[in-house]
Amino acid sequence: MSIKNLPQGVQDILPQECRVLWDVRERLTRAFEARGYAPVLSAAVEYYDTYAGIRNALPQERMFKFTDSDGRLLVLRPDATLSISRIAATKLPEPRARLYYFLDKWDAQSAGGGRTREIIQAGVERLGEEGAYSDAQTIAFAIDCMRETGLNDCILDVGHVGYMKGLLEECGLSDAQAEEVRASLNAKDGLNAERLLRGAGAGEETLSAVRALPTLFGGAEVFARAGRLTANARALAALAHLEKVHRILADMGYEKSVCFDLGTGKSLSYYSGIVFSGLVKEVGAPVLSGGRYDTLADDFGKHIPAVGFAIGLKRVLVALERQGNLPPQPASDVAVCCEEGAEGEADCLIKRFIAEGKRTTLAAEYGKDALKGVAAAEKYFVGKGGAEKL
Amino acid sequence: MITFALPKGRLAEKSAALLAKCGVDTAVLNEDTRKLVLESADGRCGFFLVKPADVPAYVEAGVADLGIVGKDTLIEEGRDLYEMLDLKMGECRLSIAGYPERRDVLTNPHLRVATKYVNTARRIFADREEIEIIPLHGSIELAPVTGLADVIFDVVQTGSTLKANGLVVLEDVYTGITARLVANKVCLKTKAEELLPLIEKLREAVK
């Protein structure tokens, strides 16, 4: 085992890449602040029990765990939304809040295939609000944020967990069976879903709807097709909600950036309404992911309906690079060197340039040679008699 | 351009023929070449020829938009991708096989299972009994014959290799294992205009 190497699935971010990452963070911070979101940070380490007992918990094999000095089990932040929901339910004075964060999360399992175990993300949560208008605003803002990072041709793929849940609730599946069916449908594997449902004694009407489910994606035309497939009240309510969201988004001018998929059923069980993914064709996995989670905070003792999303910043960087949209790496505007005894003069000169908003470099050695190989638009040498431009 | 990850080996010719039937210019696939990345003459399609077990990795990462791969590989790899169509070719089963006179080995607490489907085997035996998995890459039937394992877990097509070695199927775990058309989850949405018409043609062709 070499001491130079990192464990699988984590990375150092070197200066060139880090500068782009920070640039993206700055753009997003401006966008979040402009929309009135307030920043929040959650502790990186929490008690395992906080998440083990609740029904929305992540699978324990995906959490990084270690023991505290008193023997209690700790986890490294497995999910930002869970932490913020806990904060909202237990610490915020008002149930309403619009928050943004730059919080990394850790997933013990997902290394390999371009996925990392340390996930650098930015996100927003809108706590204490409900309804199609809130959902539509969140989706529109998600698109704005993706564009703000510098990405072109962003698509937001929107679904609603209620449609699939409605179709399945008539079959009387156990939780485990329903999860297996959901996983199959999420993979658009209609055949396996049909096999499982047949085994559970599902009716012919449900089966034909489930057969069609993997094909129910595209533009707003899918609503009519989806509506004809079922009479289930929950599924139809989900459709009506999505149509309303679509109407609002069209009115706000976002129609071209949105598509719909009624066959999505995200694996995170806390989603309760709309779910969405931000896509760009240069990256084979979503760069943004979010949805509505109205009952998540119930587990922490307060009912706070909420909606939010997170942006995977590493994936954004990959997409920016592939789109050729990386911001240029700035060199120094000005570099200054001096002779021994003129350090004070050189320092004054540098500070003057900094006050002008310039990016500066002050050489650590004396003499004009000190600036050899330093990239800068202008170079100055400060002698005891004064400064000269090189 | 649509990029395909296609499996080398037993599904290769059938895959190419099916795509050709749906209007894809696959002439380049018939050329005798050692190139791994091929492009159709009309420049509309790219093909990667990879080991069958590697198809899901290429499609999941979005390096390829579409792939053709056996359901057995999909079960084993458990990748996050869309399974669009059953192409109804290369049908086989995933079965446990061994000697007929030693059927009781299935109740042996330390059953030794030889397989190339390590993840799948671990999953299906998880609730049943303790097993020792012996990962192998080919000629799996040799394992019980030589005493390396008690049973094998492998694809069974005609059963002739089993028969020739005195083995029988003890249990069919998955039937209806066929080749599937898989799609990258993002590409399906971002390249919908290119991909959906082709998927529809394929759906019609395999009906």
One-letter amino acid for residue A141 of the chain? F
Confidence of residue A240 (pLDDT cuts 50, 70, 90): very high
pLDDT digits (tens, 9 = 90+) for A143-165: 999 999 999 999 999 999 999 88
> Containing domain of residue A316, as a range?
15-323
Check pLDDT > 90 for residue A99: yes
For residues A213 and A260, state if they share a domain.
yes
| Residue A382 in domain | yes
For residues B49 and B25, state if they share a domain.
yes
The nearest alpha carbon in chain B to A215 belongs to B84
For residues B96 and B171, state if they share a domain.
yes
- CA gyration radius for chain B? 19
CA distance A191 to A178: 15
For residues A197 and A228, state if they share a domain.
yes
For residues B165 and B192, state if they share a domain.
no
Residue A320's nearest CA partner among A110, A7, A10, A28 is A28
| Residue A6 in domain | no
Q: How many CB pairs below 8 Å do chains A and B form together?
A: 55
Residue A342's nearest CA partner among A320, A369, A363 is A363
| Residue A9 in domain | no
What pLDDT shows up at residue B68? 95
Token pair belonging to B28: 């380049």
CA distance B196 to B201: 9
Confidence of residue A108 (pLDDT cuts 50, 70, 90): confident
CA distances in angstroms from A51 to A45, A62, A92, A111, listed in the order given: 12, 12, 19, 22
Q: pLDDT tens track of chain B, all 207 residues?
A: 999 999 988 788 899 999 999 988 988 888 877 888 899 988 899 999 999 999 999 999 889 999 999 999 998 988 888 999 999 998 999 999 998 876 555 555 678 899 999 999 988 887 777 788 999 998 999 999 888 888 999 999 888 889 998 899 999 988 889 999 999 989 998 898 899 999 999 999 988
Domain boundary among A299, A323, A347: A323
Q: How far is CA A23 from the centre of its chain?
A: 16
For residues B163 and B201, state if they share a domain.
no
For residues A101 and A123, state if they share a domain.
yes
CA distance B193 to chain A (A): 10
Judge: B185–A285 Cβ closer than 8 Å, yes or no: yes
- Give the CATH number of the domain where residue B18 resides: 3.40.190.10
| Test the A interface: residue of B2, B69, B83, B122 with most A CBs within 10 Å | B83
For residues B23 and B10, state if they share a domain.
yes
Judge: B189–A155 Cβ closer than 8 Å, yes or no: yes
Write out the H or E segment, with its range, that includes residue B182: strand B179-183
| Residue A292 in domain | yes
Degrees, nearest 5: CA angle A214-A219-A221? 85
| Residue A2 in domain | no
For residues A318 and A336, state if they share a domain.
no
Characterize the bridge pairing of strands A332-338 and A376-383: parallel
DSSP letter for each residue of A132-193: HHHHHHHHHHHHHHHHHTT--S-EEEEEEHHHHHHHHHTTT--HHHHHHHHHHHHTT-HHHH
| Residue A128 in domain | yes
For residues A260 and A141, state if they share a domain.
yes
pTM for the whole structure: 0.86
| Residue A119 in domain | yes
Considering only the beta carbons, identify the residue of A114, A155, A188 that sits closest to B190: A155
| Residue A103 in domain | yes
For residues B124 and B189, state if they share a domain.
no
CA distance B115 to B133: 7
Domain boundary among A281, A302, A323: A323
Give the side-chain half-sphere CA count within 13 A for A218.
15
| Local structure of residue B175 (DSSP, 8 states) | E
For residues A133 and A185, state if they share a domain.
yes
Confidence of residue A112 (pLDDT cuts 50, 70, 90): low
Backbone φ and ψ of A260, nearest 5° = -125, 145
CA distance A34 to A83: 24
One-letter amino acid for residue B204 of the chain? E
For residues B28 and B105, state if they share a domain.
no
Considering only the beta carbons, identify the residue of A187, A189, A281 that sits closest to B186: A281
| Test the A interface: residue of B72, B80, B194, B199 with most A CBs within 10 Å | B80
Q: Report chain B residues whose CB lies below 8 A from the CB of A286.
A: 185-186
Backbone φ and ψ of B69, nearest 5° = -160, 150
Judge: A153–B190 Cβ closer than 8 Å, yes or no: yes
Count the domains in chain B.
2
For residues A142 and A224, state if they share a domain.
yes
- Give the CATH number of the domain where residue A34 resides: 3.30.930.10
What pLDDT shows up at residue A3? 82
Average pLDDT, chain A: 89
Domain boundary among A306, A323, A340: A323
> Containing domain of residue B27, as a range?
2-89+178-205
For residues A291 and A343, state if they share a domain.
no
For residues A272 and A383, state if they share a domain.
no
For residues A258 and A362, state if they share a domain.
no
Backbone φ and ψ of A157, nearest 5° = -100, 115
For residues A318 and A343, state if they share a domain.
no
Judge: A286–B186 Cβ closer than 8 Å, yes or no: yes
Please state the rounded mean pLDDT for residues A99-105: 96
CA distance A319 to A7: 25
DSSP letter for each residue of A109-140: S--BTTB-SEE-EEEEEEET--SHHHHHHHHH
Q: Report chain B residues whose CB lies below 8 A from the CB of A180.
A: none
For residues A209 and A358, state if they share a domain.
no
Average pLDDT, chain B: 88
The nearest alpha carbon in chain A to B86 belongs to A191
CA distance B156 to chain A (A): 20
CA distance A314 to A18: 10
For residues B127 and B65, state if they share a domain.
no
Count the domains in chain A.
2
